[in-house]
Amino acid sequence: MEQLPYSEKVMDHFMNPRNVGEIPDASGIGTVGNPVCGDVMKMFLKIENNVIVDAKFKTFGCGAAISTSSMVTEMVKGKTIEEALKISNKAVAEALGGLPPIKMHCSVLAEEALRSALKDYYKRQGKEVPFEIEEHKHEH
């Protein structure tokens, strides 16, 4: 098996993932999955006064899937919902020092998990969801 060229940051977030676990009283929970490669991400957000005060995740997947989940939870803490919605998969990959092209779909999953959790938050608040969740094709 050939070694994929992972950055030190990717390896760090894989070996020492941040924010693993669940938030029992989460404001929003999002679950996304890619049945083709078996990656499943579940994201929990705690939102107070429009600000994401905590974020945790549970990911079943490859190292890149775990790393991107870990990084996105770090990126959203302390951000407003509007700021969090601007976080793209490319931003997640860049924050990790880049991902091999074959693993970019993991950063897409992380973005989708975040948006899915925010969508759940809006639904629980009885508010209209003010954004679209793009359905990406997952290449493998």
Tell me whether residue 62 is one of the annotated catalytic residues.
no
Q: What is the pLDDT of residue 140?
A: 42
Under 8 Å CB-to-CB from 52, ≥6 apart: which residues? 45, 46, 76, 77, 78, 79, 80, 81, 84
Asked if residue 50 belongs to a domain, the reply is yes
Q: Greater confidence, 3 or 78?
A: 78
53 domain residue, yes or no? yes
In a domain, 97, yes or no: yes
Q: For the chain, what is the domain count?
A: 1
For 102-124, write each residue's pLDDT tens digit: 999 999 999 999 999 999 999 99
User: Which residue in 37, 51, 62, 133 is the catalytic one?
Assistant: 37
Query: 136 lies in a domain?
Result: no
- Model's pTM, two decimal places? 0.91
Q: Is residue 94 part of a domain?
A: yes
Please state, rounded to an integer, the average pLDDT across all residues of the chain: 91
* Confidence band of 34 (pLDDT split at 50, 70, 90): confident
**Domain coverage including residue 71:** 8-122
Sign of CA dihedral 46, 88, 43, 15: negative
- Give the pLDDT of residue 3: 62
User: 134 lies in a domain?
Assistant: no
Question: The tokens 């190292």 sit on which residue?
Answer: 63
Please give the pLDDT value at position 139.
Answer: 46
Catalytic residue selected from 106, 110, 114, 118: 106
Q: Provide the CATH number for the domain around residue 80.
A: 3.90.1010.10
Per-residue confidence (pLDDT) for residue 5, from 0 to 100: 79
114 part of a folded domain: yes
Q: Return the pLDDT at 4.
A: 67
- Residue 135 has which token pair? 């359905």
Residue 74 domain-assigned? yes
Digit-coded pLDDT (tens) for 94-106:
999 999 999 999 9
